Every structure is written in structure tokens, then in C-alpha cells.
Structure 1
């Protein structure tokens, strides 16, 4: 398997960079990777930087990433060197996609907002995310092994028993009993560990099958999971968002079941490719749809559909275009197809349910 080459990838984005700069950026890349591997919140922070999204005032993302980038380059400014910040963030996310972290492509897709936002590699991160997500979804459940519980491995206590039998006095009864007890406890721990792994495998597969069955019945029934009403009765402009949120709410683990995107398209029918403005969708919202949103998202720019729906359904003031753009980095008159909106809402809802936004 090929190895991710930071220097090569970085030179592709910054071909005129000097060796000292590459060395500094490589060190920053490794530190950011380590932090991201330890916290999904840092992965989301990196998505903000990669897509140059507005950072919330309460976030410590700039302090965190800025300190990393300044470690080997004291003159670096995260507020001024925006493009360079985006390059390193993009490469960290690309590396995580390369390593098949299952939640990263969902985060990237949500941040890209149906391709309306662009990274420094001209949508390269989004393309890589699409391929990784497709591979992960196809792989899920395709190579299930039969779980087995293995017995514990016995310890070597026969020598102690032999010495005891010789009557040489080198070994006492208590020593043998202690060795047997220790060996017994060790084998019990091995069996429990093996059993837990088998249960985890069976539980994970059962969860996947349950998701697929729920998805199938949802599609056949044509009934909204969140709104408890026929999907056909939902206003046409709102239907894509409801479809995406419904399916996302039924998913309990990333990356979601195979076939989800095909079912989304089938559920929308001919309206899947119709184009409309996000602002027109928002205008269709009323208290009748309050069951779609129970609380506001914590990462507005990553989940802007849920964010603006929350503004309308949870707030008492109308949504102002300038306010939405300030928080999401998008215009309310951004155009999407029905399918694009449904998939965006699906990814956002999955992240929301998993507690990431």
C-alpha cells in the first residue's frame, strides 16, 4: 500500500516553497494529525480552516491551530496567512481520508455544502472524501467473519507440580496453589476478552442490519420518521430536507448503510434534480415542522441547514440573510438541487446525532 507523502502533497499545493518552510509545515502537520486523532472536535476545527469558514467567537480553534503553526515558524499568523492555514488543514483531512477514518468524510461532505464551498486544492478534498465514503459504505458488512470465543491459554505450571512431587523441598503446596489460581484468573480474563470481541462483532453487524431494515421500511412506507406524517403531504420545497433528516436520524453509526444515497434519490423522485434557493426552503417552515429540530447545533457552519432551521423553529425572530452569511459563510439564496439538499441534511443529521455538531 502506498504511503501518504506530505512533502509531495504539500509541494503540489505550494510548488515554490523553500526547504525550511516545508520542514516547518511538516512538523505542524504531524502535530495537528496527532491532536486530530485524539479528538473529533479538532477534526471539525480543521474542516473550518480547510473551507475557510467563519470561526465562532467562543471557539479556541484559532489559538490551538495557530500555536501549532507558530511552533516552527514564529512569524506565522493564522489571521493573515489564511491560505497557508487552509493548506495544512486540507492535508491533515486528506491524510485522515487516506487512513479511512469513518467520520472524516461525513465531516468533509458537510463542510463542502454540496460543492458550494471550495478548498485550496480546487475541490480535491471533496473528491477524495467522496471516494473514501463510497469505499467505506460498500465495505461495511461486506466481509463479516463468524465471531468465535476462544479458550484461554494455560500457563506453564507443570514444572512446579513436578518439583512438588519430587519432594525436594524446593516447592511448597502454597506456591502451586497460587500458581494455579493465577493461571485460572489469566485464562478467565482471556475468555472474557474473546467473548467481548465476539459480542461486539455480532452487535455491530446486528446494528447495521437493523439500520438497513429501518431504511427499507421507511422507503416502502413513505412516512416521515420525525414528523409522523406522509412524506407526500410535506411541501415540495421542504421535502428534500425532511428526507435527509429522517434518514440521518435513523442512523446510529457512521458511515451509514450501503444504498442510502440511492434511496434518497428514489424518495425524491423527479424532484431530485430540481433546483431552488435555500432561502425559499426556509420560508416554508412553520411551527408544524418543529419536530424536525429539538435543539440548536453547536457547529453552525458545518451544519448550516440544521442551523437555519433551528433559527426559525426555535427562535422568535425571522432569519436575516446577513446574519446567516456571517455564521455559515453562505448566502441564503444559494441554489441546490433537491438531492443535494437531502444529502446535506442527511450528513448534518448524522453528525448531530453522533454528538459532533
Structure 2
């Protein structure tokens, strides 16, 4: 379970021999950089740096705050140190915002096969945070009761009207304005109370709709993207397409808890059987790859290996063209179970759709 983030302790865990001056400088840089991470694009860049992948081409926002206090630091030269700092930035974010950031970390980790620069503490934190969020996601939030608003008293203004004979126009105007103001404030209060009550209920409805859609999708034995029965697909195509299609049904992150069970059920006896990304994608036809793939920019390719490989197959007819091969070559032949492969495809599709990754 992710708790409150302590930069000093976390940094010392990674570098016990670091001097106080270095720790102080790193913390100041950390705080300055964190304040600039206001888009998912920068979260994606932090993922690349944290997992020691190719550094983003435009990363002055990350490098400059560190160089201001340590002129010798260079992102392309000090990859391990940069990776530690990026991992700490992401780990702090996980303590106060989860959702897509958790998904981004886990997809980049390729089900834990890639290692983050902080000895995988980042991956473990993201996995714990997402597991907790997924379980909490199934808890009904319910709606708060709507309480009738109180109207502000206009007694003083009304008393002035009663005491005046004949009634001056200004006193009447003040009384009417006071009543109108009270009515407007009460109506606004009622609208806000109604919205506060309905928002959790809407979230519950969306979550339940996700689960119902996934259930009917599973019962239907039909690949909507491939336009053929799931039972007609080979096991590699089936698990990849299932993960991707389930990902398209997610409307709010982190997605229904039941999706994990469905993926394991679809994999059936092959759930724990071993394969690799290269072997699995090789078994998919070029036509099917074209239906499953999304357009991923080269800069994002390493974050979503499954979709990158499928896109390459759809484009060239071979599972690895040069661009795709360079982006995912580090994980292409790593042993992975069929269930994990489906889970990776599922999370990648959520990241693409909900995190606006292209």
C-alpha cells in the first residue's frame, strides 16, 4: 500500500552514502521538477527515464533544474541518476494521484520484466496502488442525501415596509431585492447539493455499465474488433484481442476488477503457459493486426510494446520493422505468460484511450 512520500528517506534508500549537500540539492530539484509535471506527456517522459529507456528528445524541463544545482549533471550521461530521480518523482505522484499514472508505470514495466532505476520500488508501488484502486473501484459510492436549503431571512427589510406609511419606493425595492437574493442563494445551494449527490451515483452507474458490457462481451464469444468468434481465433490472437477489446470497454480508470478474472478465464489452461511478445505477435495475421493496432508515434512506442509490435505487423507484414524493433527489442523475447500478455494488452489500451497516448 502506497503511503506518504518521504523524499529524503527514499533517496537515502537508493544511495546510503550520499552527502547531505547532494540530498538537499536533489530534493530542491525534485520539488521544482514536480511542479512542472502537469500533463501526461511529461509523465510518459518520466516513465522512459525511470526505466532507463531512450531519453525524450525534449527534456530541458527535467535536466535544467538538476543542472542549476549540479552543473556536471547530463541526462544522456547520468542515466542511472536521472532514472532514480524520475522514479522518485513518479512514486510521489502515486501517493497523491493514481489512475492513468499507475497504468503508465505498469505498461512501461512490461509486467515487471523491465526494471526501474530504483530497484523496482516504483513498479511495486504502482502495482500496489493499482490493485488497491481496482478493488475499491467496485465499492458502491452511493449518493449523499439532498438537504433542503435554508432561505436567508429578509425580516429586517419586510419590517421596514410594514413600519412605513405610505411605503417609500426605496424601501420596497430593498425588500424585494433581499427576497430575490435569498431565493437565488437557496436555489444555488440546492443545485450544488443535487450535483454532489448525483456525482457518486453516476460513477457507480458507469462502473456497473462497464462490468455489464464486459460480461455480455464475454458471453457473446465474439471479437468485435476482429469481427469473428473468439473461439475461432488461435490462442495468441485470442488473448491479445481480448485484452485490447476489454480495454476499450473501460470508461473510468482503473477499470472493473472483473476484467482480470475474464482475462484469466479466456486464457483458460494456457493462462500460465509461457510465450514471448515476438512469438505471440508472429502468430497474428497481418489483417487481424491491422484491426487491433492503433497509430502509435515513435516517441511513445517503448511505452506500449504490444501495440507497437501489432502496428509494425499491420504496416509491413513482419512483426518487427526497424522502428518497432528498436523500441521493443529489450522485451521482445522475454518469457511472459499468456495471462500477463493479455493483461499488458489490456492496460496498454486503457493508457492509449484514457491517457491520450498516441
d(CA) in 2 for partners of 1:5, 1:291? 45
Compared with structure 1, are the counterparts of its residues 267 and 32 closer, same or farther at alpha carbon in structure 2 (3 Å cutoff)? same
Aligned residue runs from structure 1 range 260-339, under 5 A: 260-289=259-288, 290-296=290-296, 299-313=300-314, 315-316=315-316, 318-320=318-320, 323-328=323-328, 330-339=330-339
d(CA) in 1 for partners of 2:86, 2:133? 22
Specify the alignment match of 2:348 in structure 1.
348
Deviations 1:129-170 (CA, angstroms, capped at 9, x unpaired): 111111101111415233433333433533333344343989
Deviations 1:157-201 (CA, angstroms, capped at 9, x unpaired): 333333443439897221222222222222222222222233322
- Give 1:278 shift: 1.7
Task: Note the residue ranges of structure 1 that are not aligned, 5 or more in a row.
Answer: none
d(CA) in 1 for partners of 2:245, 2:192? 37
Deviations 1:197-244 (CA, angstroms, capped at 9, x unpaired): 333222211110011111222223332232232212112222221121
Specify the alignment match of 1:121 in structure 2.
118
Kindly tell me the number of residue pairs found equivalent between the two proteins: 352
Specify the alignment match of 1:218 in structure 2.
217
Which one is further off, 269-278 or 72-81? 72-81
Aligned with 1:107 (options 100, 104, 109): 104
Specify the alignment match of 2:23 in structure 1.
22
Determine if contact 1:149/1:195 at 8 Å carries over to the other structure.
yes
Compared with structure 1, are the counterparts of its residues 67 and 164 closer, same or farther at alpha carbon in structure 2 (3 Å cutoff)? farther
Determine if contact 1:137/1:255 at 8 Å carries over to the other structure.
yes
Compared with structure 1, are the counterparts of its residues 40 and 183 closer, same or farther at alpha carbon in structure 2 (3 Å cutoff)? farther
TM-score, normalisation: structure 2: 0.89
- Give 1:93 shift: 1.4
Specify the alignment match of 1:84 in structure 2.
81
Deviations 1:89-132 (CA, angstroms, capped at 9, x unpaired): 11121122223522222111101001111012222211121111
Question: For 1:300, what is the secondary structure of its paired residue?
Answer: helix
Compared with structure 1, are the counterparts of its residues 91 and 156 closer, same or farther at alpha carbon in structure 2 (3 Å cutoff)? farther
Task: Note the residue ranges of structure 2 that are not aligned, 5 or more in a row.
Answer: none
d(CA) in 1 for partners of 2:82, 2:189? 47
Specify the alignment match of 1:40 in structure 2.
40
Specify the alignment match of 2:68 in structure 1.
71
Specify the alignment match of 2:195 in structure 1.
196
Compared with structure 1, are the counterparts of its residues 195 and 83 closer, same or farther at alpha carbon in structure 2 (3 Å cutoff)? same
d(CA) in 2 for partners of 1:225, 1:148? 41
Compared with structure 1, are the counterparts of its residues 321 and 182 closer, same or farther at alpha carbon in structure 2 (3 Å cutoff)? same
Which one is further off, 175-184 or 123-132? 175-184
Determine if contact 1:103/1:254 at 8 Å carries over to the other structure.
yes
- CA-based RMSD of the aligned residues comes to 2.4
TM-score, normalisation: structure 1: 0.90
